[in-house]
Structure 1
């Protein structure tokens, strides 16, 4: 895949003045803040959110942003681990010198590959996965305590990843989490600025794009796999959110 085809999916930078997301709302962000006491503070930006805290030490930080379909291309267990990593806690602190050195090496490899004229999408995605697997391994060390509502957001997202193909009604998720549908939407609006329905629809679009590009499935077959009553209703939904019909999207990708 040529670099111009994926440059909007992945960005890494050391020269920035703010930590606002630089990709679409369907992206995740990580800010690696290398502190003067030799520790590493890692800040996570889940989908559709902003970073939770201001970071005063930006001159010693690295900002990484990537679209969620870079992880959706792999297995569901890995995707769930990533959702857990980004939504369970807003940040973690790594103090072990060898762990910090390992993370630095992977980050430098990502930077070198991203900046290379011959950068490879497969190589970048592989290095990103290596970095994520390191972070998943370290996730229980030094995490800050999450609030109750953040925990409910995490529960909703975890449930959605395994049930969105069959359950598109917010009542199912609210009942499973033991809150009212109204309260669930209030929490999601506060934390993610989206309702449960909007988040589920966003997930459907991401899955639809992935399957259209990576499989031989027809738009009609996909409509029913995603839980739509008809091909026409799915086509209207897809075109409204993507701008083109599913068949046109598949043809161009």
Structure 2
């Protein structure tokens, strides 16, 4: 374990290894996390979504997602964790292009499949970053530079793989319409049949297509979209819990808090306390 801690004891940036850090049981990390699977296979769970993987591959999780790996078989991995207070992916949006691609996207599988050469390159990057973490004379700027390279490379590989997939696969126009509709109407439409009616398909057809295309039911996507927005507002604004509940069109803050905790296992205030309020929240003030 090699971690740099903040004034309040939180991990700002750190590296963990599979021999000393288990992902067999559900865990909620306060940091953005990149899991480099060197070899082996298993089923990765991130909140209520899950998928099978085999290494080498990169897996991702956002702060306080409930994650674990089931059915691990000869799996070796390295975790790279970083706190939003140490490196804000919103501020560095143009440099790393990872927000909405690697993190905070309810439609994409949070993974990047690696070639052997790419796996070797990431191993070398993490090795150098680990050396900097051990070196007491290393600067924050150097650590951020290595992290930025890791994130930028992850985003580049992810985008290229998506482009290749798009070139050989046929888009489901109804599901693309559903995606756009959900992003537009998630505050007011909370039932799958409401979306099915607008899309002129049956609820059963919507469910089957959604599971095949996104790996999630329409209900999961609707809930995930609301939770994603709530997390953004808790982290990226200084609005009170009551104000956030109002903006998300909940009847009251208590109902919002129950809804949030049901789907994240943590209250909105506890989420904000652990993740913190981003520097972005104060830029427009």
Q: TM-score, normalised by structure 2?
A: 0.54
Q: Are positions 1:66 and 2:89 aligned together?
A: no
Match of 1:247 among 269, 281, 284: 269
In the alignment, structure 2 segments of 5+ residues that lack a partner are 1-11, 17-28, 64-81, 83-87, 135-142, 276-285
Match of 2:210 among 171, 179, 188: 188
Match of 2:127 among 85, 105, 112: 112
2:5 alignment partner in structure 1: none
Match of 1:11 among 16, 35, 47: 35
Structure 1, residues 155-182: CA drift from partner, whole Å, max 9, x if none?
A: 4345434543454333453345442233
User: Relative to structure 1, is the Cα distance of residues 85 and 230 closer, same or farther in structure 2, using a 3 angstrom cutoff?
Assistant: closer
Q: CA RMSD in A?
A: 4.5
User: Relative to structure 1, is the Cα distance of residues 193 and 138 closer, same or farther in structure 2, using a 3 angstrom cutoff?
Assistant: closer
User: Relative to structure 1, is the Cα distance of residues 2 and 133 closer, same or farther in structure 2, using a 3 angstrom cutoff?
Assistant: closer
In the alignment, structure 1 segments of 5+ residues that lack a partner are 27-47, 95-99
Query: Whole-Å Cα distance in 2 between the matches of residues 20 and 230 of structure 1?
Result: 37
- The count of residues paired between Structure 1 and Structure 2 equals 212
Q: Are positions 1:146 and 2:140 aligned together?
A: no
Query: Whole-Å Cα distance in 2 between the matches of residues 107 and 122 of structure 1?
Result: 14
Q: TM-score, normalised by structure 1?
A: 0.60
Query: Whole-Å Cα distance in 1 between the matches of residues 13 and 114 of structure 2?
Result: 36
Query: Whole-Å Cα distance in 1 between the matches of residues 226 and 89 of structure 2?
Result: 14
2:244 alignment partner in structure 1: 222
Match of 2:253 among 206, 214, 231: 231
The Cα of 1:117 is off from its aligned counterpart by 7.0
User: Relative to structure 1, is the Cα distance of residues 241 and 147 closer, same or farther in structure 2, using a 3 angstrom cutoff?
Assistant: same
Structure with the larger helix share: 1
Matches within 5 A, 1:41-120: 48-51=49-52, 61-68=55-62, 74=90, 86=108, 107-108=122-123, 111-112=126-127, 118=133
Match of 1:128 among 135, 151, 169: 151
Q: The residue matched to 1:216 in structure 2 has which SS?
A: coil
Q: The residue matched to 1:20 in structure 2 has which SS?
A: strand
Q: The residue matched to 2:155 in structure 1 has which SS?
A: helix
The Cα of 1:234 is off from its aligned counterpart by 0.5
